Amino acid sequence: MTTSETRTLVLGATGHVGSQVIKALLKRGRPVRALVRKPHAKVHGAEGLGDLDYAVGDLADRESLRRALDGVDIVVSSANGIIPSGKTMSVKSINRDGHDALIEEAERAGVRQFVQSSVPTWEREHTVPEMAGKRALEARLAASSIPATIVRNPAFMDVWLVMGGCRQLIGPDPHATTRRPYGFMRMWQAMTGNLVTRRGVLLAPGGGRHGAPFIATRDVAEILAGAVGRDDCLNRIIEAGGPEWVTWREVAEKLSRKTGRKVRPVPMKAWFAATGQGAMRPIMPSAANVLALVKLVAAHQPRWEDPPIVEELGLPEQMTLDRYIEQNWNTN
């Protein structure tokens, strides 16, 4: 699969990762179709980059999926329901019901590769709806006739720095996850938004010694796009870590240097997030899903770093935490 004429359908097109996948594919000269839920939706910054068209559709609407898949050879999906952009979206409706329909229709359409974003493995992943959903989706793809490429990535630095109390790092991208008009995210940011600069406090899932191979959304998008059309990426799971393993204490030290004030990590324990998850589940399931993800980051420390896939696919140098802070710091 090397032809530049292969059209790729991207789901999650107006999300933080999906929008960057589209721009990365266009820059590689690949024609792209973006699946959007509203007719006026656009991928900001993609104008003029290449051959891009739009299909209006929804994972719950099979007919719209058939139309979107017409003339498509490859599907890339980064759609998720953790921080929803619509009231009808949920982890279950996206990872399970919706993708079941999509995979069936993609099989009928003769799609030759399905590239799916996913999450690291964890022994207690059944307690985190997004992880359980992604693992079920991986199993569904494994049983499919379509060769799949699974890209598993750890925590996004773009999201967790903001959720930790550093709104100054929300970044300029209008598609940023932390900019979504979602009530729980707005409430969280209202409570924690400027803790780093105003109080010298960084909320640290798991505590100061806890860490992860943080990765930027841009770098996950580059891996997803880089796998498109490559025979050596078919029927393959790619473990996509960031360029360095960083503890929350080290994150706080970096923010101390940037702000000129002492920043200390304040632990958010896994049990605390789990308690919140249980309390929110019956009244606001999507908020419970977010807290489940906090629990995951607080309890799980995937250890890989500097993945060889970057060199293998000829991708741009990955974003370090220091570089991300310097490029995205906003004093407003």
- In the DSSP assignment, the letter for residue 266 is E
Between CA 59 and CA 227 the distance in angstroms is: 23
Tokens of residue 86, six digits? 């619509």
Look up tokens 């589940």; give the residue.
Answer: 281
Give the pLDDT of residue 50: 96
Look at residues 202, 208, 312, 203 and name the one whose alpha carbon lies nearest to residue 263. 202
Residue 191, pLDDT score: 87
Domain spans in the chain, listed from the N-terminal domain onward: 8-154+215-241+303-316, 158-211+245-299
Q: What is the DSSP letter of 106?
A: H
The pLDDT, as a whole number, for residue 3 is 46
End-to-end CA, the chain:
46
Contact 4, 51 (CB under 8 A): no
56 membership: H or E segment, kind and range? strand 52-56
pLDDT for 145 equals 96
The reported pLDDT for the residue numbered 67 is 96
Q: 37 with 56: CB under 8 angstroms? A: yes
The kind and range of the H/E element at 265 are: strand 264-268
The pLDDT value given to residue 305: 58
Q: What is the mean pLDDT of each run of 10 residues along the chain (332 residues)?
A: 71 95 97 95 95 94 95 93 51 60 95 95 85 91 97 92 93 89 80 92 95 93 97 95 93 97 96 91 84 88 77 94 94 62
Q: Rg for the chain (alpha carbons), in Å?
A: 19
Mean pLDDT of the chain: 89
Identify the CATH number of the domain defined by range 8-154+215-241+303-316.
3.40.50.720
Tokens of 233: 């990426």
The answer to whether 4 and 31 are in contact (CB under 8 A) is yes
SS3 of residue 114 by DSSP: strand
Nearest Cα neighbor of 69 from 81, 57, 79, 78 is 57
Q: Which residues pair with 77 in a beta bridge?
A: 11, 116
The predicted pLDDT at position 93 comes to: 47
Rounded CA gap, 17 and 24, in Å?
A: 10
Rounded-to-10 torsion of CA 306, 291, 19, 73: 80
Report pLDDT digits (tens) over 224-278. 999 999 999 999 999 988 999 999 999 999 999 999 999 999 999 999 999 999 9
DSSP codes of every residue in 279-331: HHTTT-HHHHHHHHHHHHHHH------S-THHHHTTPPPPPPHHHHHHHH---
Tokens encoding 127 = 């307690």
Distances (CA, A) of 56 to 38, 40, 41: 6, 9, 9
Tokens 């059209």 sit on residue: 7
Cβ 1 vs Cβ 73: under 8 Å: yes
Closest CA to 298 of 163, 194, 169: 163
